[in-house]
């Protein structure tokens, strides 16, 4: 068997084919025993032999070819399990992220809809002043300039809006949530 190692290291395809024919069934049985799947065992067997050929220059005369082949097979199996674990973890994280986004979007939509309903009970100018001040963060002076009214009128509109909305205890929570989601 030592001759096969040297021949494979040199790139001899015939020696590789002989090793493949001699050990294919045993390598397949090893993978089938670990995975309980014909298709997967066959795929992993092919990968192990591909690695044997690809890394032929690392073969050593100190160990028989079967021991080296089964070392390659073991590392192939470990690589496969790591890949599956990573894919499962990534799929779980993607699913979690998607579910979280859906929940956040739904909450944002419901909150915005409820806030719109509450704000619609205000007269149009008062609503506009309140939205500019409390939701968009404009100062009284900026609102006054934008709407061509006095800052005192802006202050009066805010005061009346707060009194009118006083019955809606959850308005501050809506405002905070909207700022958070925007």
**Phi/psi-derived region of residue 150, left when phi > 0, alpha when psi is between -120 and 50, beta in every other case:** beta
In a domain, 151, yes or no: yes
What is the pTM (predicted TM-score) of this model? 0.54
- Total structural domains within the chain: 2
Whole-angstrom distance, CA of residue 170 vs CA of residue 172: 6
| Token code pair at residue 49 | 């032999």
Nearest Cα neighbor of 43 from 91, 4, 76 is 76
In a domain, 24, yes or no: yes
Tell me the CB-side half-sphere exposure of residue 7, using CA atoms within 13 A.
13
In a domain, 98, yes or no: no
Task: Give the relative orientation of helices 13-35 and 65-119 as an angle to the nearest 10 degrees.
Answer: 50
Same domain, 14 and 85: yes
Over residues 67-84, the pLDDT tens digits come to 999 999 999 999 999 999
Residue 181's pLDDT band, with cuts at 50, 70 and 90, is: very low
Same domain, 129 and 87: no
In a domain, 59, yes or no: yes
Over residues 27-41, the pLDDT tens digits come to 999 999 999 999 999
**CATH assignment of the domain containing 87:** 1.10.1740.10
Question: Domain of 74?
Answer: 2-91
């Amino acid at each position: 068997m030592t001759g096969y190692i040297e021949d494979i290291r040199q790139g001899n395809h015939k020696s590789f084919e002989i090793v493949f024919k001699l050990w294919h069934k045993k390598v397949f049985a090893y993978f089938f025993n670990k995975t309980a799947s014909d298709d997967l065992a066959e795929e992993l067997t092919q990968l192990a032999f591909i690695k044997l050929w690809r890394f032929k220059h690392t073969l050593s005369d100190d160990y028989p070819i079967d021991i080296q082949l089964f070392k390659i097979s073991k590392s192939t199996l470990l690589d496969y399990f790591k890949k599956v674990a990573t894919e499962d973890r990534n799929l779980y994280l993607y699913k979690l992220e998607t579910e979280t986004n859906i929940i956040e979007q739904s909450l944002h939509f419901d909150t915005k809809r409820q806030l719109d309903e509450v704000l619609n009970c205000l007269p149009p100018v008062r609503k506009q002043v309140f939205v500019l001040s409390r939701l968009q963060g404009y100062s009284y002076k900026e609102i006054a300039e934008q709407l061509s009214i006095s800052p005192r009128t802006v202050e009066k509109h805010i005061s009346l809006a707060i009194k009118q909305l006083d019955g809606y205890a959850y308005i501050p929570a809506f405002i905070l949530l909207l700022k958070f989601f925007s």
